[in-house]
A and B are shown apart, each in its own frame.
Chain A
Amino acid sequence: MKPAPYGYARAATLDDVFSLLAEHGEDAKILAGGQSLMATLNMRLSEPEVLIDINRIDGLAGIQDTGDTIRIGAMTRHVDVEESDVIATHAPLITAAMEHVAHPAIRNRGTFGGSIAFADPAAEMPACAVALGATMHIAGKGGTRDIPATDFFKGLYETAIGEGEILTAVSVPKITAGWKSGFMELARRHGDYAIIGLCAHLQVSDGKFGDGSLVFFNAGDRPVSAPLTAALLNEQNWSDELSEKLSASLKDELDPPDDLNADGPMRKHLAGVLVKRTLAPMAGA
């Protein structure tokens, strides 16, 4: 289908964005890579009056090493994240996950910030952000604020970005010695949204697990952490017995939705499969 008519405004600066948002309010939508937004407009699931194109604002794209963290500008394209050596070195979870985000042509245009702001519960990047303890940088007319990833995702396609604000960047803590990341998702076809997926970020030394997080995507209305199950890993080596225990715990801890691809019980089962397939190699087992 064709989208309903809309106006188009090319913002040159963040101030342009703030005034356009103030002027048009709910009738305006930010246009980043357009890889989710354009599809929803074409299907007429949304009919905004105005699109505010943020593609030409200087300084919104780019990957910076800031010491303890990597700062990823909101307009950084998926492909540039995928190919970044800085990210591969300091946030390998994101590199591992990125090749599962859609298809090459979509990654050439889709943006990191767009994925985070869109907050699709089936998307990979929001789950990575939560697993790694990222910080979201939000800007509005009144200034900027920083929100931890865990408080950022509020529900189905809902985030802490307020009226008149945009996401400008995400800071991801660098992986430190003794920590490992693991990523896996189950999808019927490469590039499709996953039936369910896992981001694991854990302390591992000599095959023994320590602290860390297990975060699932497409397991609820936002990225879903499983802290109770992750706690069972503490001081444990990988074993079949541990694997069973983790699977059983996930069945209690997760409450995934039913949809056309899988029902809740199947997703719970697959969560156990993901943990087994991801964690065993992390432990070197």
Chain B
Amino acid sequence: MDKNVDISLTINGEKVTGRVEARTNLVDFLRYDVGLTGSHVGCEHGVCGACTVRVDGRIVRGCLMAAAQADGADVWTIEGVTETGEMKPLQEAFVERNALQCGFCTPGMLLTIAELMERKPDASRDEIREFISGNYCRCTGYQAIVDAVEMARKGTGKSTGAKGDSA
């Protein structure tokens, strides 16, 4: 059986075609074939969330989906959602709240939180933690990240001039 597969998909709004080894996962395809290195690779077995990307409107583990399976899909990475400005308030809140240090987890964290804000806009601090339980941050800790989510949600970031409250 042929171990290569032709694929054609949309990445950050642009049509992309390619021929991949069947065993290539989506995040490696994005990083090595397409050159989008914003999605990171940590554990390669679904535990850390560094590889999180958006496929057909929902976040998935880029390391647990074969690129071949993304044929026909609409894929968004941190590069794309940064360019559209969709994440701006959240990204600003991350900076303001020091919700990142090395930044390795941040792209996955941001995409996960964007989905949380859409699906559970009123999530409590505990529910926010639950939602990001599959995204490991090894340096910042989660307090500042949860603070940033609350700040972005309330629109109390720098762009509005108001001050956020901490909990």
Contacts from A to B (Cβ < 8 Å): 1-10, 31, 34-35, 38-39, 41-43, 49-51, 53, 55, 79, 99, 102-106, 108-109, 189-191
Q: Within the complex, which residue of A34, A39, A104 is in contact with B66, where a contact is CB–CB below 8 Å? A: A34
Q: Which of B47-104 contact A (CB under 8 A)?
A: 49, 52, 58-61, 63-66, 68-69
Query: Looking across the interface, which residue of chain B has its beta carbon closest to that of A192?
Result: B133
A53 to chain B, nearest CB (A): 6
> Chain B: how many interface residues by the 8 Å CB criterion?
33
CA distance A39 to B47 in the complex (A): 9
User: Is B163 positioned at the interface, with any CB of A under 8 Å from its CB?
Assistant: no
Knowing A1-B44, A7-B3, A106-B46, the reply to whether A189 touches B112 (Cβ < 8 A) is no
Chain A residues whose C-beta falls within 8 Å of the C-beta of B144 in the assembled complex = none
**Ordered nearest first, which 10 A-B pairs have the shortest CB separation?**
A103-B134, A7-B1, A8-B22, A39-B45, A38-B64, A108-B58, A190-B133, A191-B133, A105-B59, A42-B44
Q: Which of B111-167 contact A (CB under 8 A)?
A: 112, 115-116, 129-131, 133-135
Chain A residues whose C-beta falls within 8 Å of the C-beta of B134 in the assembled complex = 102-106, 191
Chain A residues whose C-beta falls within 8 Å of the C-beta of B58 in the assembled complex = 79, 108
Is the CB–CB distance between A3 and B61 below 8 Å? no
Give the interface SS of chain A, mostly helix, strand, loop or mixed. Answer: loop
Is the CB–CB distance between A5 and B21 below 8 Å? yes
Is the CB–CB distance between A34 and B65 below 8 Å? yes
Is the CB–CB distance between A103 and B66 below 8 Å? no
Is the CB–CB distance between B69 and A55 below 8 Å? yes
Is the CB–CB distance between A6 and B3 below 8 Å? yes
Chain A residues whose C-beta falls within 8 Å of the C-beta of B59 in the assembled complex = 104-105, 108
CA distance A282 to B26 in the complex (A): 45
A157 to chain B, nearest CB (A): 17
Q: Within the complex, which residue of A1, A10, A53, A105 is in contact with B61, where a contact is CB–CB below 8 Å? A: A105
CA distance A35 to B131 in the complex (A): 17
User: Is B2 positioned at the interface, with any CB of A under 8 Å from its CB?
Assistant: yes
Chain B residues whose C-beta falls within 8 Å of the C-beta of A102 in the assembled complex = 46, 134
CA distance A77 to B98 in the complex (A): 35
CA distance A5 to B25 in the complex (A): 12
Query: Looking across the interface, which residue of chain B has its beta carbon closest to that of A23?
Result: B1
Is the CB–CB distance between B52 and A105 below 8 Å? yes
User: Is B23 positioned at the interface, with any CB of A under 8 Å from its CB?
Assistant: yes
Chain A residues whose C-beta falls within 8 Å of the C-beta of B63 in the assembled complex = 38, 42
Chain B residues whose C-beta falls within 8 Å of the C-beta of A79 in the assembled complex = 58
Is the CB–CB distance between A109 and B22 below 8 Å? no
Query: Looking across the interface, which residue of chain B has its beta carbon closest to that of A100?
Result: B130
CA distance A53 to B2 in the complex (A): 14
Chain A residues whose C-beta falls within 8 Å of the C-beta of B61 in the assembled complex = 35, 105-106, 109
Is the CB–CB distance between B23 and A39 below 8 Å? no
CA distance A103 to B66 in the complex (A): 19
User: Is B36 positioned at the interface, with any CB of A under 8 Å from its CB?
Assistant: no
B119 to chain A, nearest CB (A): 8
User: Is B9 positioned at the interface, with any CB of A under 8 Å from its CB?
Assistant: no
Knowing A39-B46, A43-B45, the reply to whether A3 touches B23 (Cβ < 8 A) is yes
CA distance A103 to B131 in the complex (A): 7
